[in-house]
Amino acid sequence: LEMIKNKVEKNLEAEGVKEIKVKVSEARADGYYHEIVATEENSELAPNTILEVIKKGYLLRDQVLKASQVKITAHSQNPKQLINEVVENMSLLIIMVSKLDTFNNFDTAI
């Protein structure tokens, strides 16, 4: 049975069919190559990082024959955390604008 499987795989490969390779926990989902079928909350990895390949996908001469079905990371939308991030970013922006304004005032004084 294993010999038959290997022969079929070699024949498919000779015709230009190859598996879509996925680096789990490293690659991010790409809508062209991946079909997202499940999500899991995970704050350690970036959003849309592939956690698991559910079903393999295949290419035919670099065109998607069948997209890989994958499970990806999702981050919970904690409102307090989002508000804190926005406030922090706004504070940094205000500091940068005030420094730029100070620089412009210095330049016109000369």
List pLDDT tens digits, range 39-85.
Answer: 998 888 888 899 999 999 999 998 999 999 999 998 766 667 667 77
**Cβ(57)–Cβ(69) below 8 Å:** yes
pLDDT at 75: 73
**pLDDT in the model for residue 85:** 73
What does DSSP say about strands 68-74 and 34-41: parallel, antiparallel, or unpaired?
A: parallel
Q: What is the DSSP string of 4-54?
A: HHHHHHHHHHHTTEEEPP--TTTPBP-TTTEEEEEEEE-SSS-TTBEEEEE
Query: d(Cα 102, Cα 16) in Å, to the nearest integer?
Result: 62
Return the percentage of the chain with pLDDT > 70, whole number: 85
Residue 63 amino acid letter:
Q
pLDDT of residue 79: 67
The amino acid that residue 104 corresponds to is N
